[in-house]
Every structure is written in structure tokens, then in C-alpha cells.
Amino acid sequence: MGGKTAFWIAGGALIGLLAAIVTCSGSPETQSAPHDDAGAGDSATPDDGRGPGRDAEEDGGAKRNGMVELNQTVDDAGYSVLASADFIRGWAFAPECVLTQINAACTTALCPDADAGAPPRPPTAGRITITGGKLDGELVLIPLSDGTYFAADQNSQAFAAGDLLSVRAEGDAIPAFSGETVVAPNDIDFKTATLSRTFPPPGPVIPIDRTRDWAVSWLAGTVGLTEVQLSTYLHGIHQSIIICYFDATSGSGTVPAAALQALDSSSRGIAFVQPLNMNRFAVGDFEISFVVDGTGLSGQISTN
């Protein structure tokens, strides 16, 4: 996802980020990195069971996934804002990944490191417009001939915590929609370990004991979810990913040892934490997630 350090969502992007860790850390055989979501309307909660990455078909229908995302990152250089849209798989894992639901908050994914080939041309929803908050007017996403979208960005603050963001689409193969909103989350301060707003993260390396639950805490958010992701990568073999969504207002969560067992042993990887809020709604045969997320924090991990 564009401006944020997204990993499992954009499978190809994850490989690129993991490659950066390989380059920076040394051995290409045992390296890793992470991924690069509840709101006004139909919001996701930890007891959703699958979090924002769930497959819409698991809800008993034949709905396909779509996603419109607004990410805002702030660091020493200022604000970086990126809007994007994806109607290939939205917030779902790639179909070649093997998913295991560990508990209501956490899911693991084992994704082969192989070229799945070019996806079919996705349908579009026409021009998509995001407004509200502190945006400079509006951000407009333009569909391209291959069905992907040209991203929109700005280099100033797009929202503050509590601001209301709206999305609408003119419609195409995916019907028009409007009036869908999300309340912006606040950035969080992760207390469990030292994480960075830059990627690759400079360190220190966080030890992860795969035999013990990993309790995490942050200065409580005001709305939505806190995403916690851990990932390792074996070059040419697979990505091993844990992704958990906790109620942001709780200020804490636990990644169970049963989930940590999915990480490769004696490996380097990435921890990724991000505040987000989302609205999931149905349009035609699509389930679309409008996601607004804040600054992601990452750190290198080492497993036993």
C-alpha cells in the first residue's frame, strides 16, 4: 500500500522489501520482512475473526475483494500522503497463500515465493474521489487501460485523528458508489519494542521466542484497529506471515505462540505495526474496503 510500509497486501512489493533486508543484512537464504484497518459504517473489529484481510467469499457469497486506501505517513521530513485502489484482490491474501486462523485476532499465511504470473485484467469503478479531512481539495484516482489505478498523492497533512474522510466512484464494471466514510485514526507510540518510521529499519534487532506468547502494547488509539505483523522470508521458498488486528483503544494485544510457530526458525524478519480504520461495504458483487491508515512502524526481528 503505497506510502505505508505494506507487506502482505502487495505480494510483489513485499518481495522487494524483503530483498532490501537481504541486501542490507547479508545471507539471502534466511532473510525476511513485513507487509505494506474499522470506521464509520460497517467496521471491522478484532472478533471479526479474519480481520480486514479476510476473503469475501468466506462470508457465504461470491463477492470479490476491492480496496481504496488513503495512507498518511509523517516523519522528520514532514507528511507523505498516498491514495490507491486495487480491485484485483483488495485486502485479501494472494490465492496461492495457505491461511490458518489462529484466534479471533490473528491469522498466519504461508505464501510460496514464486511468480504467479500476471493477474487477469481487473474491473474498475471508474474515477474514484477521496475528500474530507485536511486534503487539498480532493484526491482523484484514475483507472488505467490495464485495470489498475494511477495513484494520487500530496505532501501535506491529509487528516488529523477524528477527521471524516469520504470516498465516491463514478462507476464502470463496478457500480458507482458514494457516501462511504471513515473516521481517521491517530498515530500510535508502540511501547513493546523500539520501532522505526524508516525502512529498512536501522535496529535494534528484536528477539522473538517462537515458544512464548508475544505481548504487545501501545499508547491507546482513539478509534479503529492496531495492526501487528511479523514476517520471515526464505529466498526462493516462501514468505511466512503473521497478521493480527487488535482494538486500538485497548492499548495491548497478544500474538500467541501458536501463531509465532509459523515464522521460520533461526531467521531474520520484520515486525510491522500500524494504526488504521476502515469501512467495508458491498457494491454489486464486490466487497470493498475503504481504508484510512496512519504511520507504520517497523523493526527487524530474529527468531529462535
The phi, psi pair for 142, rounded to 5°, reads -105, 125
Q: Please tell me whether residue 302 adopts helix, strand or coil conformation.
A: strand
Task: Give the pLDDT score at 220.
Answer: 78
Average pLDDT of the residues of the chain: 80
pLDDT, one tens digit per residue, over 115-161 is: 666 667 889 999 999 999 999 899 999 999 999 999 999 999 999 99
SS3 108: strand
- Band the pLDDT of 38: cuts 50, 70, 90: very low
H or E element at residue 48: none
pTM for this structure?
0.80
Nearest Cα neighbor of 184 from 128, 250, 243, 131 is: 131
DSSP 269: E
Distance from C-alpha of 101 to C-alpha of 167, rounded to nearest angstrom: 31
Looking at residue 64, its pLDDT comes to 83
Can you give the pLDDT at residue 281?
A: 95
User: Which of 304, 237, 209 lies closest to 29, judged by CA?
Assistant: 237
What residue type is 40 in one-letter code? A
pLDDT, tens only, 212-268: 999 999 987 889 999 999 999 887 788 999 999 999 999 999 999 999 999 999 999
* Coil, helix or strand at residue 23: helix
Q: Is 244 left (phi over 0), alpha (psi -120 to 50) or beta?
A: beta
